[in-house]
Amino acid sequence: MTYVQNTEQDQAEMLAAVGMASTDDLWKVIPDDCRFTGDLDVGPALDEDALVRHMRAIAKKNVAADALPSFLGAGAYRHFCPALVDNLVSRTEYWTAYTPYQPEASQGTLTTIYEFQTLMCRITGMEVANASVYDGATAVIEGVLLALRTKKKAKRVLASKGLHPDALAVLHTYLRHLDVELVELDLADGATPVDAVQGEDVAAVAFQSPNFHGVIEDVKGLCDATKALGALSVVSVDPISLSVLEAPGAQGADVVVGEGTPMGNEPWYGGPGFGFMCSRMDHVRQMPARIAGETVDGQGRRAVVLTFQTREQHIRRTKATSNICTSQQLMALRATIWSSLLGKEGFVELGKTNLSRAHYAAQRIASLPGWSLTYPDRSFFKEFSVTTPIPAAEVNRRLLEEHGILGGFDLGRVDPTRPNEWLVAVTDVVNREEIDRLVAALESLS
């Protein structure tokens, strides 16, 4: 962002425009006991040149994820994104796109929403999709809340410990303030046991596949067990994995959610990204956020509108299904353009590339003395857990300092009992040469 000065004259003119004599007048609405007193612990003011130099020096301390070979994933994955996505999404039509209150003036935005929903339904095998929720973790709780509204008398939710830690944390945050018991299901050899799905008064069973440890779950078995309880299954997925794995909708899922960032968006600083949510048509009136539908106008021409507007906060705020107010549609638009550029065959080819490179990396790493796959008998897509001979935190430090490689995710950060488990992600932007370079570096560490 270009440096913009704020001179004393500028400040005086702005204060005069709002009828204030000084900036102190602006703060009078803030109670005294809420105000900071004293001096802020910051250095002296800098001129423009010195400030730019200072900010550049700070920025150089960052290591860009695309500057080094990177095997870091854990829910935020980098995939190749054609330059055409940036070009198209930068068109001025999308600069001010927001909630399309007036369909007659928002046909472009509504059409992109409709196309996105169609895309997500085809990928997940579901019947209806919204556009959209904040992120993958938010999508999980929204799926669970949908189930609780549908199963009004049920007061228990089962959640697999294979869910992303952020999703589990959000579930705890929401459900602790409701009269709902959250039961976490332990993993067995990295996967959620189907026979753990049991009990009474259950509204939803939430799990993830591939799960946080990279293991592909028995989606059909878990969905069948959930249905036997009279509950709804909420399945969190990596959308890229559905290029080679069977769609959850075809395996009995009731609600499919996930993080859409891998589709045409970059994981820099965690986003911005977007969550997606799909369900069966039976539950469409319980879905949060926006849904675009196709109809005809008064002259019989094709038109796109927002449907079920009673769900929207701007219509019936007190009866809204969610507190979602902001559409992540710009990021969803990127996903739509990205997917259109790939096409069906390109999407499948992308999945095969991820699958083959990840399995090549796993085979090479597991061949090293002292290194092994944590779950050697489990299937995985593009991410897998490795048991390391030294703490994973030490592995990452030495890889970066001695070899210029960004290592995998240290599972000890989320579970102190697992200091020697290392989550390695291999996507299409990691080539065989970089994998071999990683293996050579690991060999030198042990």
Could you tell me if residue 316 is left (phi over 0), alpha (psi between -120 and 50 degrees) or otherwise beta?
beta
Contact of 295 with 305, CB cutoff 8 Å: yes
Say if residue 185 is exposed, middle or buried (CB neighbours under 10 Å; 0-12, 13-18, 19+): buried
Contact of 311 with 321, CB cutoff 8 Å: yes
Token pair, residue 407, equals 């290592």
In tens digits, what is the pLDDT along the chain, a chain of 446 residues? 566 778 889 999 999 999 999 988 988 899 989 988 888 898 888 888 998 899 999 998 887 778 899 999 999 999 999 999 999 998 887 766 566 777 777 888 889 999 999 999 999 999 999 987 889 999 999 999 999 999 999 999 999 999 999 999 999 999 999 989 999 999 999 999 999 999 999 999 999 999 999 999 999 999 999 999 999 999 999 999 999 999 999 999 999 999 999 999 988 866 788 999 999 999 998 998 888 999 999 999 999 998 876 555 556 666 777 777 666 888 999 999 999 999 999 999 999 999 999 999 999 999 999 999 999 999 999 999 999 999 999 999 999 999 999 999 999 999 999 999 999 999 999 999 999 999 999 999 97
Contact of 446 with 368, CB cutoff 8 Å: yes
CA distances from residue 104 to 93, 107, 114, 240, 326 in whole angstroms, order as listed: 15, 6, 15, 35, 21
Q: Tell me, what's the pLDDT at 93?
A: 77
Nearby residues of 354 by Cβ (< 8 Å), 6 or more positions away: 79, 240, 381, 382, 426, 427, 428
Biggest alpha carbon distance in the chain? 74
DSSP state of 70: B
Token pair, residue 221, equals 């078995």
DSSP state of 282: G
Q: Tell me, what's the pLDDT at 321?
A: 79
3-class secondary-structure state, position 369? coil
Contact of 181 with 157, CB cutoff 8 Å: yes
DSSP string, 93-156: GGTT------GGG-HHHHHHHHHHHHHHHHHHT-SEE-B-BS-HHHHHHHHHHHHHHHSTT--E
Contact of 291 with 117, CB cutoff 8 Å: yes
Q: Tell me, what's the pLDDT at 172?
A: 97
Q: How far apart are the first and last CA of the chain?
A: 45
Give the domains, in start order, of the chain with CATH numbers.
Answer: 8-56 (no CATH), 83-336 (3.40.640.10), 342-445 (3.90.1150.10)
Nearby residues of 60 by Cβ (< 8 Å), 6 or more positions away: none
**Cis bond before residue 132 (omega within 30° of 0):** yes
Taking the C-alpha atoms of residue 420 and residue 417, their distance in angstroms, rounded to an integer, is 9
Contact of 74 with 409, CB cutoff 8 Å: yes
Looking up tokens 């944590």 gives 374
Q: Tell me, what's the pLDDT at 135?
A: 92
Identity at 444, one-letter amino acid code = S
Q: Tell me, what's the pLDDT at 271?
A: 73
Q: Tell me, what's the pLDDT at 62?
A: 84
Token pair, residue 259, equals 């993080």
| Predicted TM-score (pTM) of this structure | 0.88
Taking the C-alpha atoms of residue 312 and residue 283, their distance in angstroms, rounded to an integer, is 16
Contact of 205 with 233, CB cutoff 8 Å: yes
Say if residue 388 is exposed, middle or buried (CB neighbours under 10 Å; 0-12, 13-18, 19+): buried
Taking the C-alpha atoms of residue 158 and residue 144, their distance in angstroms, rounded to an integer, is 10
Q: Tell me, what's the pLDDT at 376?
A: 98
Q: Tell me, what's the pLDDT at 314?
A: 59
Taking the C-alpha atoms of residue 213 and residue 207, their distance in angstroms, rounded to an integer, is 12
3-class secondary-structure state, position 380? strand
- CA 276, 97, 88, 104 torsion-angle sign: positive
Taking the C-alpha atoms of residue 362 and residue 385, their distance in angstroms, rounded to an integer, is 9
DSSP state of 170: H
DSSP string, 176-192: TTTT-EEEEEPPBTTB-
Q: Tell me, what's the pLDDT at 100?
A: 75
Q: Tell me, what's the pLDDT at 316?
A: 63
Tell me how far the alpha carbon of residue 331 is from its chain's centroid: 11
Contact of 350 with 241, CB cutoff 8 Å: no
Torsions phi, psi for 331 (to 5 deg): -70, -35
Taking the C-alpha atoms of residue 217 and residue 162, their distance in angstroms, rounded to an integer, is 9
